[in-house]
Amino acid sequence: MAASYSMDLRERVVAAVREGMSRRKAAVMFKVSASVAVRWLQRVSETGSCQAKPTGGDKRSQGIEAHQAWLLSQIAEEPDLTLEEIRGRLAAEHSFKASVSMLWRFFRRHGVSFKKNPARRRTGSVRRGRGASGVVREAANA
């Protein structure tokens, strides 16, 4: 994404138009597009400043934050829910489509983690832990 024009350039274009120059001539003189000059003058008339609007930031989390109480209550009632199950319930009960990553970021913001319980881990392969050679040595020593 391109960077915004400097405030100095914006102010010079606005000042030239206020002194009587047309917007298009000011745009040619300062080597910007005519549409930019027009928008800067519109912004000055609306807000009193030709400053650039803020860019970036989070624009989508407001939707999921509206369901904050429901989401947190679901986790409190059933802590073993997966993000995929939560996503399905959210779509079914509230008609809100959310991705798994959106839900993960929501729960991270609210301090909820989905760490696995060590007692429920699957058994690892033979190479984990003692390993295959450890089993053979024990049998040979017995």
Task: Give me the chain's average pLDDT, please.
Answer: 83
pLDDT confidence tier of residue 25, bands split at 50, 70 and 90:
very high
Give the Cα separation of 119 and 123 in Å (integer): 10
Provide the token pair at 27: 């745009």
pLDDT of residue 17: 94
Helix, strand or coil, per DSSP, at residue 63: helix
Burial readout 33-47 (b: 16 or more C-beta within 10 A, e: otherwise)? eeebbeebbebbeee
pLDDT confidence tier of residue 130, bands split at 50, 70 and 90:
low
- pTM assigned to the model: 0.47
Those residues whose C-beta lies under 8 Å from the C-beta of residue 138, and which sit 6 or more positions away, are: none
Give the Cα separation of 122 and 141 in Å (integer): 29
Helix, strand or coil, per DSSP, at residue 49: coil
pLDDT of residue 90: 94
Give the Cα separation of 138 and 142 in Å (integer): 6
pLDDT confidence tier of residue 57, bands split at 50, 70 and 90:
confident
